[in-house]
Structure 1
Amino acid sequence: MAQSQQQLQFAYWVPNVSGGLVVSNIEQRTEWNIEYNKKLAQTAEKNGFSYALSQIRFTAGYGAENQHESVSFSHAILAATEKLKVIAAILPGPWKPALAAKQLATIDYLTQGRIAINVVSGWFKGEFDAIGEEWPDHDQRYARSEEFIRTLKGIWTTDNFSFDGKYYQFKDYTLKPKPVQQPHPEIFQGGTSRAARDMASRVSDWYFANGNTVEGIREQIEDLRAKAKQNQHQVKVGLNAFIIARDTEEEAQAVLQEIIANANPEAVNAFADATRQAGAASPEGEGNWAKSSFEDLVQYNDGFKTNLIGTPEQIAERIVAYKAAGVDLILAGFLHFIEEVEYFGQRVLPLVRELEQKQQQAKEVA
């Protein structure tokens, strides 16, 4: 099926860290324990979500005082569901590719092909310092991630794999059993910098973009796919969004303003400092969050910028506009996860599917 004919897919952020998806003291009916997350995963699966993305944190900070480890937590969610694919976030450095390849191949076998990986190059230097891990320069973190991905692919797809890189070396290594998924589990990555996009254009299956306007994401996707075409590579795009769907636009906007009004200034500003240091370290100064305001940073990955805030009709129209700009997946965060995932599945998603069908029919007539 051609990309233009495929339905847009939906993922949600797994709240496996405390504090929800906003750096705010607003009341949230979202929990980070496993029982809540099992119920959430089952609710998401029944309401049209294809993926869930677990978060990786090693240390407390920015409202996330408690964190469950991503891979083991992802496996627990997989055990509670039947169709959902879970994307486990992994940091090169703490993880070595041999361990990650074996760990994920086993989970893939146990779940019959429902694990994926999000390779996080790292933005929080304090976290790496705290656990005694090397913190390479900005572009070298992406160079390390690219080697990490290349070695994973090699281990998962070939026998007697050898690799002689700057960060990783292998000699005649054979992993058995290999993953169930062919050619291998899907590999996701994020990042806004030139190095991040160039890496995605060479090796990743999916590229996660921070929240953005339709025009902004279209420009980013055109750049990414032009580079990928030069590399004879294809990459799909996921877009981060914080969704506030309510019966009226006034209700939705009131929730947004309440979240921002109750923001934790100390945590937001500390997060801003850490992210700007990471972004400024890129040669062009265009890393993640380089152009984010205080209000933007109340939601970790600029989810408010995507503006999926309003009535079901407004949100569905904006989602389809993002699809027309080249987006393949919406990665969603919510304030009160379980009830809002259900509301989205019942009230917003059917409208998205109707609009997609009309869009496709219009193309066929043209």
Structure 2
Amino acid sequence: MTQQTPEPIRFAYWVPNVSGGLVISKIPQRTSWDADYNRELARIAERAGFDYALTQVRFTAGYGAEYQHESVAFSHALLAATERLKVIAAILPGPWNPTLAAKQVATISQLTGGRIAVNIVSGWFSGEFRAIGEPWLDHDERYRRSEEFIRALRGIWTEDAFTYRGDFYRYTDYALKPKPAEPLPEIFQGGSSRAARDMAARVSDWYFTNGNTPENIRVQVDDVRQKAAAEGRSVKIGVNAFVIARDTEDEARAVLQAIIDQADPEAVRAFGHEVKNAGAASPEGEGNWAKSSFEDLVQYNDGFRSNLIGTPDQIAERILALKDAGADLALLGFLHFQEEVRYFGEQVIPRVRTLEAARAERRAAA
């Protein structure tokens, strides 16, 4: 069933708005969580050809993330520093109510010409919920709440008098004015469990999956798209990957090994315990990190498994393989963000576009 989208693959990057970077490792990183660094990074990414930036949502320290900037306010700061880049603000049901989120995002949308999107995070860190006094729901209940959250967001943004009767959220003739600017904010979500895929098929615009091989990604893509088609919908797919682009493959592999060699074993094991328990609570006993090894967990979205590690030519070819598997977007992490995002824009994205153009010419000639 998998069909490659005729559109160019898009690129997004993880915003390092929490400390510790994107790896649970003690390796030195020329990456900072502070505002000035991230404003400049957003401008670099925009010039490099990135379409989106995704802010992270964390409320408590853990696994190297001692400091965290709040995601929605930070997203607005990045939007104010750029002209074209879209920023996806991560939002966690529980701490957020759809009413507040809808109003925050509508205002930011008006202020930025519609460049704000949202990523609804169902939650994996039970200790975080306990720390802030929020109930920790069962696995499928978390996704059921997220689905209601998305339905409420979309209803508030599109209806003049929104009425809704859910188990978690209820509205009676609620009118939000002003609405967001057009186009409406895109709604992203992640997860690999059955509940996550089913929710994406019913309500989300985009589905994020953890890093994986093209073959395994294709299985998830086909499942989501078949279920979405049955609902009369279509869903775009984003794939996580950690990029180590160097002039030679040996250099890139040496960096990967150094990251793993200097991993914080206690933090990696604690993170793995937390996320595997969250996934194991699903009825099928499987979630995003069910098959992740210690080495995979050093990059906390299984980004090494997508294998964007090597020379620019190798990485461009592997991005096309992800696209062949159904990916519409590559969501990327880096070790030294500013310089590596710039290098990726100079050396990798042009190669990807050349490969895409060549394929388009071959199809046209066939």
**TM-score normalized by structure 1?**
0.98
Structure 2 equivalent of residue 333 of structure 1? 333
Q: Secondary structure of the residue that 1:147 maps to in structure 2? A: helix
Change (3 A) 1:313 1:3: closer
Separation in 2, partners of 1:117, 1:50? 14
1:119 aligns with 2:120: yes
Q: Deviations over 1:302-334 (max 9, x none)?
A: 000000000000000000111111100000000
Deviation at 1:363, TM superposition (A): 2.1
Structure 2 equivalent of residue 192 of structure 1? 192
Structure 2 equivalent of residue 209 of structure 1? 209
CA contact (8 A) 2:57 2:90 kept: yes
For residues 344-355 of structure 1, the aligned pairs below 5 Å read 344-355=344-355
1:28 aligns with 2:32: no
- The residue identity in structure 1 corresponding to 2:59 is F
Separation in 2, partners of 1:186, 1:126? 29
Superposed structure 1 runs of 4+ greater than 6 Å apart: none
Deviation at 1:3, TM superposition (A): 7.1
Structure 2 equivalent of residue 101 of structure 1? 102
Structure 1 equivalent of residue 61 of structure 2? 60
Deviation at 1:175, TM superposition (A): 0.2
For residues 1-366 of structure 1, the aligned pairs below 5 Å read 4-182=5-183, 184-366=184-366
Deviation at 1:4, TM superposition (A): 2.7
Q: 5+ unaligned residues in a row in structure 1: which ranges?
A: none
Q: Deviations over 1:62-120 (max 9, x none)?
A: 01010000000010011100000000000001000000000000000000111000000
Separation in 2, partners of 1:320, 1:3? 9
CA contact (8 A) 2:89 2:118 kept: yes
Separation in 2, partners of 1:63, 1:199? 31
Q: Deviations over 1:218-267 (max 9, x none)?
A: 11101110010001111000000000000000000000000000000010
Q: Secondary structure of the residue that 1:89 maps to in structure 2? A: strand
Separation in 2, partners of 1:220, 1:175? 36
Aligned residues: 364
- The residue identity in structure 2 corresponding to 1:269 is R
Deviation at 1:152, TM superposition (A): 0.3
- The residue identity in structure 2 corresponding to 1:103 is Q
Separation in 1, partners of 2:251, 2:220? 32
Separation in 2, partners of 1:266, 1:256? 19
CA contact (8 A) 2:4 2:325 kept: no
Separation in 1, partners of 2:226, 2:26? 42
- After superposition, the CA RMSD in angstroms is 0.9
Separation in 2, partners of 1:149, 1:20? 29
Deviation at 1:364, TM superposition (A): 2.3
- The residue identity in structure 2 corresponding to 1:244 is I
- The residue identity in structure 1 corresponding to 2:130 is D
Deviation at 1:359, TM superposition (A): 1.4
- The residue identity in structure 1 corresponding to 2:238 is G
CA contact (8 A) 2:119 2:187 kept: yes
- The residue identity in structure 2 corresponding to 1:349 is I
Q: Deviations over 1:135-156 (max 9, x none)?
A: 1110010000000000000000
Q: Secondary structure of the residue that 2:320 maps to in structure 1? A: helix
Q: Secondary structure of the residue that 1:5 maps to in structure 2? A: coil
Separation in 1, partners of 2:65, 2:163? 39
Q: Deviations over 1:35-71 (max 9, x none)?
A: 0000000000000001000000000000101000000
Separation in 2, partners of 1:332, 1:4? 19
Deviation at 1:271, TM superposition (A): 0.1
Separation in 2, partners of 1:60, 1:113? 32
Change (3 A) 1:217 1:3: closer
Q: Deviations over 1:161-207 (max 9, x none)?
A: 0000000000000000000023x200000000000000000000000
Percent identity, please. 68
- The residue identity in structure 1 corresponding to 2:307 is N
- The residue identity in structure 2 corresponding to 1:51 is Y
Deviation at 1:361, TM superposition (A): 1.8
